Amino acid sequence: MVKWQARYPKAPHPFVLGLSLNSGGQVSAGEKLSLGVTLLGRATGTIPYWVHVLQAAGEQGLGPQRVPLALETVHQECGPGDGDWALVYLPGETFEPQPAQHPKPPPVPNRVRLRLHTPLRVRRGGRHVSAQELAFHDLFRTLLRRLSMLSQFHGPGPLEGDPRTLVEIARGIAWQKTDWRWHDWQRFSARQGRRVPMGGVIGEALLDGNDLVFIWSLLWFGQWVHASRGASMGLGRYEIISEDAIS
């Protein structure tokens, strides 16, 4: 068993914000908005602070016109990916968060459909990888680096295993069938005072589950941490759809 550690220029954020590609960016007065927040590692104990932060952000206002919002409710998923949500906060009432739980990967399936819901922005050779060029190892290499950073700064320490071996395994894995496309996306940056590009690859592809045995737990966990540049802002969110578990 090998533990590996690398040096990074800065710590990653221990959270992932939800991002909807269906929003046109326009919000009418009185309209309700939903924001997803996934807390990672030791940050799972900071939910009360997030309530305060969201309240303050709403009062300050969002977007270039600083449109004010009021926090109405907070729901928490009882188990990662189970779709069961509990109401844990209403303004003026006692805050009752649920205990944090960790994702548990199921058995490796025979076939996997990997569906990218938000743009995946990865670079190879100093430039962004296009939908036509995207290889499995592009996604996995980005995911592995992100998991390593999160584990180092916000988790139990360095990941176990040899990263070179894991990357070589990923290089030997090919998409079975692909339906990728490039999706242009922008967000307003208050710090920069302008809109910044967040476009990337979305779509889906099939994989042979037998190829994924040695990296399955990492790939499964990546559904919550995302795999992309700008992951904390919601980019690189993917879903794994499993079929017929391998016995």
The pLDDT, as a whole number, for residue 3 is 47
* Structural domains counted in the chain: 2
Is the pTM higher than 0.95? The answer reads: no
Residue-wise pLDDT tens digits, 71-86: 999 999 988 888 899 9
Do 174 and 81 fall into the same domain?
Answer: no
| 46-65 as b/e: b if 16+ CB within 10 A | ebeebbeebeeebeeeeeee
Do 76 and 113 fall into the same domain?
Answer: no
The pLDDT, as a whole number, for residue 4 is 45
Q: What is the DSSP string of the chain?
A: --B-----SSPPPSEEE---TT--S---TT------EEE-GGGGG-HHHHHHHHHHHHHH-BTTTTB------EEEESSTTS--EEEEE-TTS---PPPP------PPEEEEEEEEEEEE--EETTEEPPTTT--HHHHHHHHHHHHHHHHHHHSSSSPBS-HHHHHHHHHT---SEEEEEEE--EEEETTTTEEEE--EEEEEEEEEGGGGGGGHHHHHHHHHH--STTGGGTTT-EEEEEEEE--
User: Where does the pLDDT of residue 136 fall: very low under 50, low under 70, confident under 90, or very high at 90 and above?
Assistant: very high
Q: What angle do CA 4, 236, 149 make, to 5 degrees?
A: 20
What whole-number percentage of the chain has pLDDT above 70?
A: 91
Give the closest residue to 37 by CA, choosing from 93, 91, 97, 94.
97
**178 domain-assigned:** yes
Do 76 and 131 fall into the same domain?
Answer: no
- Asked whether residue 23 carries a pLDDT value surpassing 70, the answer given is no
Domain of residue 45: give its range: 15-89
The pLDDT, as a whole number, for residue 247 is 41
Do 77 and 124 fall into the same domain?
Answer: no
Altogether, the residues listed in the chain come to a count of: 247
The pLDDT, as a whole number, for residue 22 is 61
- Asked whether residue 29 carries a pLDDT value surpassing 70, the answer given is yes
Residue-wise pLDDT tens digits, 194-206: 787 889 999 999 9
Last residue of a domain, one of 89, 122, 150: 89
Residue-wise pLDDT tens digits, 229-245: 999 999 999 999 987 75
**132 domain-assigned:** yes
Give the closest residue to 102 by CA, choosing from 217, 200, 16, 9.
217
**95 domain-assigned:** no
Highest mean pLDDT among 18-32, 58-72, 209-223, 231-245: 209-223
User: Where does the pLDDT of residue 62 fall: very low under 50, low under 70, confident under 90, or very high at 90 and above?
Assistant: confident
N- to C-terminal Cα separation, the chain: 25
Do 81 and 114 fall into the same domain?
Answer: no
Do 74 and 125 fall into the same domain?
Answer: no
User: Where does the pLDDT of residue 9 fall: very low under 50, low under 70, confident under 90, or very high at 90 and above?
Assistant: low
- Asked whether residue 180 carries a pLDDT value surpassing 80, the answer given is yes
Separation CA 180–CA 178 (nearest Å):
6
Residue-wise pLDDT tens digits, 97-135: 888 888 899 999 999 999 999 999 999 999 999 999 999
Give the pair of three-digit tokens for residue 38.
């996934």
User: Where does the pLDDT of residue 93 fall: very low under 50, low under 70, confident under 90, or very high at 90 and above?
Assistant: confident
Do 117 and 65 fall into the same domain?
Answer: no
Give mean pLDDT, residues 9-38: 79
Do 59 and 174 fall into the same domain?
Answer: no
